[in-house]
Amino acid sequence: MAADSQRRAVVLIDGEHYPSVLRAALAALAEAGTNPVTALLLGGTEKIAGADAPMDLGVPTRWAGGAEGAYDPAAAAAALDELIAQDRPDVVVDLSDEPILGPRRRLQLASHALVAGVAYEGPDFRLTPPPRPRVAGRPTVAVVGTGKTAVTADFARRLAAGGRTPVIVAMGRGGPPDPVVVSAGAAPDLEALLSIAEGGGHAASDFYEDALTSGVATVGARRCGGGLAGAVAFSNVAEAVGAADDLPGDLTLLEGSGAALPPVHADATALIVPGDCDPELLDGYLGRYRILLADLIVVTMCEPPTSSPHQVEAVLEVIRSTSRSLPVLCTVLRPVPMGPVAGAKAFFAMTAPAAVGESLAAWLESQHGCEVVATSNHLSNRPALRADLERAPAFEVLLVELKAAAVDVAARIASAAGAQVVFCDNRPVVVGPDGRATEDGDASLAAAVDRIAGLADERFAPR
């Protein structure tokens, strides 16, 4: 960005301020070293003669209001996108106020500025684009949001089956102090994971799960903190990407963590959204920033009781209101044991809500031939998980996702009781918004994976 004395600014204003006040404010900005190049009038006619009336503000002024001076979110966002592309500002300065632009609408417009790499500031706030430097030596696809680990592993398997050689870089809040490489096909077994846990490591870190469920090379990293737009406070992800570049491969999958985004550049992005997500979290609170970054959206858990068709449709409508052309897939996640369990009495430990435990257990019984004698949805609650295991009827197999307390609690207790431990994958299945499977679902997901990998290739090539 230019130095403060040379900053170029698109300034947001409204017709609830007298033109003379706006003129004085723009002059004060220029005197302080922020030079307005365009003013975007967002609506409001109380103190101006009308939308087309000259205001003599000293800079070109563009009207983006709606009928009768009302604020028009779509028109405002489109106009801001155009002015940022046209005027190449260093900052968007917001001099508007309620009732034209309140906090929610401000964050919507801030999302457009941040995606364009432009800071957004007002009288008592400043939002800066999360730094995402280009460090990878090959095309990259970021997979971010809730449910990303299952989707990342699925992408990796599909890419490998299609002849690509993907490498996964996964960051986590329990990741290693230095990047750890797991070679393709060399995921640690239960004994090795127990040893990691004994040594104080996080044996259920996402990168171990990715290595186990995808079979591709994986690099583990750590991060701490998460900002409103997904920035992290500290991480070693750049070093992990460097380690990934040293491995055989032609595409790197960058897996986010929680709501945080990988703090490095991605050539293409897949956003994972739960079907029961509060639509306000997508349209406000910089949720729009994540939608604008995305080249593909995968909505997960699109089935009752987790998500009703009405809830899923509300989520889809928010996405459509931001981008009608963005590809969107609705999915559910289904458990797949990583070893044989047919005929065995099984205890199933998961992170899924208790409300879906019965249906997932029924799926395991019908598709994989085991008898689920007990379940626990407390994989992220160590005391409750321990209690569930201790009061469970006798079981021969522990089926468990490689997450949270899977190793240090669940696997230890099961092994001590003489039960076999079989890790369980979660795999996306494409459905309609009503949760019903579609005939061409697998082909749709395969095509989406090929498309986003192709976008990454195309965007990386000019570099």
pLDDT of residue 5: 56
What count of residues does the chain have?
463
- Say how far apart CA 6 and CA 34 lie, in whole Å: 7
pLDDT for position 353: 84
Rounded to the nearest angstrom, the gap between the alpha carbon of residue 239 and the centroid of all alpha carbons in its chain is 21
What is the pLDDT at residue 1?
42
Q: Please tell me the distance from the alpha carbon of residue 71 to that of residue 359, in angstroms, as a whole number.
A: 46
pLDDT of residue 3: 46
Phi/psi at 258 (5° precision): 60, -130
- HSE-up (13 A, CA, CB side) for residue 126: 4
The token duo for 181 is 């490489």
**How high is the pLDDT of residue 324?**
84
The owner of tokens 């003489």 is 418
How many Å apart are CA 15 and CA 38, to the nearest integer?
16
State both tokens at 183: 């070679």
Distances (CA, A) of 458 to 138, 164, 249, 451: 11, 15, 17, 10
pLDDT lower than 70: segments of the chain = 1-5
Residue at 150: amino acid letter:
A
User: Hey, CA dihedral for 129, 131, 137, 141, is it positive or negative?
Assistant: negative
Distance between CA atoms of residues 235 and 219, nearest Å: 13
